[in-house]
Chains A and B, each alone.
Chain A
Amino acid sequence: MTLDGSAAEAGTARGTDAPSPARGRKASRRGDVRAGYAFLSPWLLGFVALTAFPMVASLYLAFTDYDLFRPPSWVGLENFVDLFHDPRFWASAKVTAIYVVVGTPIKLAAALAVAMLLNMKHRGQGAYRSIFYAPSLIGASVSIAIVWKAMFIDDGIVDRIAQFFGAEPGGWVGDPSKTMPMFVLLAVWTFGAPMVIFLAGLKQVPTELYEAAAVDGAGPVRKFFRITIPMLSPVLFFNLLLETIGAFQVFASAFIISGGTGGPADSTLFYTLYLYIKGFTQFDMGYASAMAWVLVVVVGVITAILFKTSNAWVHYSGDNR
């Protein structure tokens, strides 16, 4: 939708530009090139200086030993070999993988469920939409991380409520088996952003489709799987892509809740947190660069898989653009 659509649009846009008077065309073309680069220069400069060059540099650093003080020394694949044998690397990969694989689907399911609930034309729909969206704006902030920690700590409010329902006493913050549910709950609390996008998508589904299906005797389950999901698939794809990539990059909440350590027992050692610890507290910048590139490759492969499989399940209806 977004990516393919805009590329296609860009193509047609150029087509519509072409038919201009033949005499002026050449001059204006040259002018357009100059103007194009002039207007593009902030982005172009930023891309070269802040993205392209650093990416190449970090690829080089990944094959070196570098501590910011002595010049980098080439070590070949050593960082990657070390990664492979580093239990904390695997711990951080596991924490992030579980968070992405478990947290993202739950968050998206919650977002879709609430969006469908809101789409039933309620009074106050706009107000609910705003209220449910609000946590998405602040969910990644330090303030909320502090609140979360205080709510889930020993004898805190969540512990008290859980005990009321018969759970063993004990805070979630200090229990390695409960820290992941705590982070997933934080992710689910911020279901509002994908929900708003789902809701906008639901509003574009023509009601005649549901009416026709009802006439044919389709129940709500059938309608959901045969109409809602296919019609919503471009939006679903967009949310899945963005939320997955976002889930890989959790940092502030993990840093605050674990006090920058990733503890207890490395159960909150998110990948980005370990990368930070390696690069900026241990100044093992070669190693951290290797980690960064592993992350890029993994996210790139997942993005590619999502795009490839999307051909099979994402339907673009012609008039949607």
Chain B
Amino acid sequence: MTTPATTTQAPPGQVPGRAGALRAAARRRKGARSAGSHLLLIALTVVVLYPAVWMLSSALKPSSEIIGNVSLWSDRFSLDNFATALSGIGGVSFWTFFANSMILAVLSVVGVTLSASVSAYAFARISFPGRNVYFAIMIGTLLLPFHVVIIPQYIMFNELGLVNTFIPLLAGKFLAAEAFFVFLMVQFMRNLPRELDEAARIDGCGHARIFGSIMLPLMRPAIITSSIFAFIWSWNDFLGPLLYLKKPDMYPLPIALRLYVDQTSVSDYGAQMAMAVLALLPVMIFFILFQRYIVDGVATQGLKG
């Protein structure tokens, strides 16, 4: 807005000089803006990371120094809280909880990979009557609040005698009930060249062959992304295990953590924090190793299709 106004004011002979000065000013302004936005980003990073750093610092502090203390640093840092956390809860070892979480997460990954990729192939690559209707229903379940099904599902699994087993928590994974994963794989598969399957069909391949030897290997990125999310969501899941697992030796970490918080007094914040850190550790390791897959997966999920 300002540029035309100033140029009309300037005498004709001085235009080049003026323009040069203007450009320099613009460059300086741009530099200042860039420095300002950099500072803003750094400040934002501090704010975003603060709760995580605070958690870690508190896990290393003696409990008495956590509440009523602003400093993140302590002269009395130690691993005592972790030792307390690792000693377990109510006679059940920490590693039992860890193993339960791990079994659930790994089986979730297996279930999701198998069921979602197979179902996605039907949606993306086989044309049969009714497919579009099923696809619309699948998208609909993506938007459905899952709370509507938890009560009848619980009643059903209870009737089947499956409460206190991992089956209610895994059934949905092996039956592609989480539409997000099917959708992600359908989107990915649609972007693979059709000539591949057409060529294979001319060579006499059936769908099983096309899926197994052509699609599946090409779907590696989508499978990695969905495996990561399946793992992390299962690892963090709270409501499912809360409903179905009632025996402490079957608890995964989030439920164990809740039991721990309920059992320990306020004065034992240090051990609670240590256990919270331990429960998040695999997720953080996953994130650091696979951040590109995770963040790119989220980015494309919003745009493709």
Q: Do A and B come from one complex?
A: yes
The residue from B174, B190, B232, B262 contacting A42, defined by CB atoms under 8 A apart: B174
Q: Are A255 and B40 in contact (CB under 8 A)?
A: no
A27, chain B: closest CB distance, angstroms: 12
Question: Is residue B177 within 8 Å, beta carbon to beta carbon, of the partner chain?
Answer: yes
Q: Are A32 and B127 in contact (CB under 8 A)?
A: yes
Q: Are B151 and A288 in contact (CB under 8 A)?
A: yes
Q: Are B207 and A117 in contact (CB under 8 A)?
A: no
Q: Are B261 and A128 in contact (CB under 8 A)?
A: no
Q: Are B122 and A197 in contact (CB under 8 A)?
A: no
The residue from B114, B134, B258, B299 contacting A256, defined by CB atoms under 8 A apart: B258
Question: Is residue A184 within 8 Å, beta carbon to beta carbon, of the partner chain?
Answer: no
Q: Are A51 and B141 in contact (CB under 8 A)?
A: yes
Given known A11-B132, A141-B254, contact A293–B236 (CB-CB < 8 A):
no
Given known A122-B37, A219-B1, A296-B145, contact A160–B273 (CB-CB < 8 A):
no
Distance, CA A44 to CA B138, complexed state (A): 9
Question: Is residue A135 within 8 Å, beta carbon to beta carbon, of the partner chain?
Answer: yes
Q: Are B177 and A46 in contact (CB under 8 A)?
A: yes
Complex: chain B residue closest to A9, CB-CB: B190
- Of the candidate stretches B11-19, B217-225, B277-285, the one touching chain A is B277-285
> Can you list, as one digit per residue, whether each of B99-114 has a CB less than 8 Å from chain A (1) or not (0)?
0000000000000001
Question: Is residue A210 within 8 Å, beta carbon to beta carbon, of the partner chain?
Answer: no
Q: Are B145 and A299 in contact (CB under 8 A)?
A: yes
Complex: chain A residue closest to B128, CB-CB: A36
A55, chain B: closest CB distance, angstroms: 6
Across-interface contacts of A117 in B (CB, < 8 A): 37, 40-41
Question: Is residue A129 within 8 Å, beta carbon to beta carbon, of the partner chain?
Answer: yes
Across-interface contacts of B182 in A (CB, < 8 A): 43
Q: Are A150 and B272 in contact (CB under 8 A)?
A: yes
Which applies to chain B's interface (DSSP): helix, strand, loop or mixed? helix
Q: Are A160 and B68 in contact (CB under 8 A)?
A: yes
A148, chain B: closest CB distance, angstroms: 7
Interface bracket on A: 35 or more
Across-interface contacts of A235 in B (CB, < 8 A): 302-303
The residue from B148, B154, B156, B190 contacting A13, defined by CB atoms under 8 A apart: B190
The residue from A43, A133, A280 contacting B295, defined by CB atoms under 8 A apart: A133
Complex: chain B residue closest to A130, CB-CB: B291
Distance, CA A264 to CA B99, complexed state (A): 35
Q: Are A6 and B273 in contact (CB under 8 A)?
A: no
Q: Are A131 and B54 in contact (CB under 8 A)?
A: no
Distance, CA A255 to CA B258, complexed state (A): 9
Distance, CA A46 to CA B305, complexed state (A): 24
Q: Are B273 and A146 in contact (CB under 8 A)?
A: yes
B residues apposed to A, CB below 8 Å: 1, 4, 34, 37-38, 40-41, 44-45, 48-49, 51-52, 54-55, 58, 66-70, 114-115, 118-119, 121-124, 126-129, 131-132, 134-139, 141, 143-156, 158, 171-172, 174-177, 182, 186-187, 190, 194, 206-208, 211, 232, 236, 238-239, 242-243, 253-255, 257-258, 261-262, 269, 272-273, 276-277, 279-280, 283-284, 287, 291, 294-295, 298-305
6 closest residue pairs by CB, A with B: A46-B175, A36-B128, A197-B302, A39-B122, A43-B119, A54-B152
A–B Cβ pairs within 8 angstroms, 11 of them: A38-B122, A40-B123, A54-B148, A55-B152, A133-B291, A140-B238, A141-B238, A141-B279, A143-B276, A150-B273, A201-B302
